[in-house]
Amino acid sequence: HGDTATVAVGLGTFGSRSAAVGGTAVHLAAGDVSEKARRLAAHLLEAAPADIVVSDGQWQVRGVPGRGVTFADIAGTAYGSARPKDIEAGLESTRFFQPPGMVFPFGAHLAVVEVDRETGSVTLRRYVSVDDCGRVINPLLVEGQVHGGLAQGIAQALYEEVAYDGDGSLLSGNLTTYMIPTAPDLPSFILDRTITPSPVNPLGVKGVGESATIGSTPAVVNAVVDALSPLGVTEIDPPCSPEKVWRAIERARGHRSG
């Protein structure tokens, strides 16, 4: 647990910078190692570094596919006595990256809900998410991030609530009373993306961690309010639980009849 006596202000994890900042540092370090491997391959193949290409898991001389060395050959040379004197031993690099500016992903979310006016129950029928997280390194991981973020954001919109009684006792302290959606509660998500590379890192990537979470909560809440707008409902504080929605409907009906 956090202790405000030690850390007065919490700034968050900044987890979405992992690819943009940490990934770029890895990219730069890997480039150093790759360039060093190229120089060692050139030494072993008696060729110029500019003529070395990587193909089929080997470093080869351009235009001479029969001549090549493996990574094991290069690693052995990097740590052995046959290494050229002007090349430092080992195949390693340490790089730091401080971005010159922030990266900002963006997107658009669409939620379709059905509201039972008699019970206040809300059913999410369809969800479309279109996001832009720059250049995509691993599409499957990006989709997983979006799926998880959507589930989390939808949970905030419809289920999750920290509730207390009049004495300040917590009423939702376990998963019996603190509701979260499970797979049957969610529709199959429709995902798409646009790709706008970030200009502030060489990979062109942006974080995707918060994208779905930030977009899904207001999308679902707004869809619920829109569904009830013919009754005069203009606002519902999330989560849109059946009780809250039912009370909003009854208040709107009372105002109309009054």
Residue range 210-222: mean pLDDT, rounded: 94
The fold of the 15-79 domain, in CATH, is Aldehyde Oxidoreductase; domain 4 (3.30.365)
Q: Which pLDDT belongs to residue 258?
A: 55
Mean pLDDT of the chain: 92
- CA 215 to CA 165: how far, in whole Å? 31
For the stretch 186-208, what's the b/e string if a residue is b when 16 or more beta carbons lie within 10 angstroms of its beta carbon? beebebebeeeebebbebbbbbb
Q: Which two tokens stand for residue 25?
A: 């540092």
8 Å CB contact between 108 and 130 = yes
77, pLDDT greater than 90: yes
8 Å CB contact between 221 and 199 = no
The fold of the 106-257 domain, in CATH, is Aldehyde Oxidoreductase; domain 4 (3.30.365)
Assess whether the region 15-79 and the region 106-257 belong to the same CATH fold: yes
Q: Residue 175 — φ and ψ, nearest 5°?
A: -75, 0
Q: Which pLDDT belongs to residue 102?
A: 87
Residue range 212-232: mean pLDDT, rounded: 96
Q: Which two tokens stand for residue 34?
A: 């790759």
| pLDDT tens digits, one per residue of 152-172 | 999 999 999 999 999 999 999
8 Å CB contact between 225 and 157 = no
- CA 180 to CA 137: how far, in whole Å? 31
Under the banding of pLDDT at 50, 70 and 90, the label for residue 123 is very high
Q: Which pLDDT belongs to residue 67?
A: 82
Q: Which pLDDT belongs to residue 1?
A: 61
175, pLDDT greater than 70: yes
| pLDDT tens digits, one per residue of 196-212 | 999 999 999 999 988 89
214 contacts: CB under 8 Å, gap ≥ 6? 153
Domain boundaries in the chain? 15-79, 106-257
Pairing type for strands 52-55 and 122-132 reads: unpaired
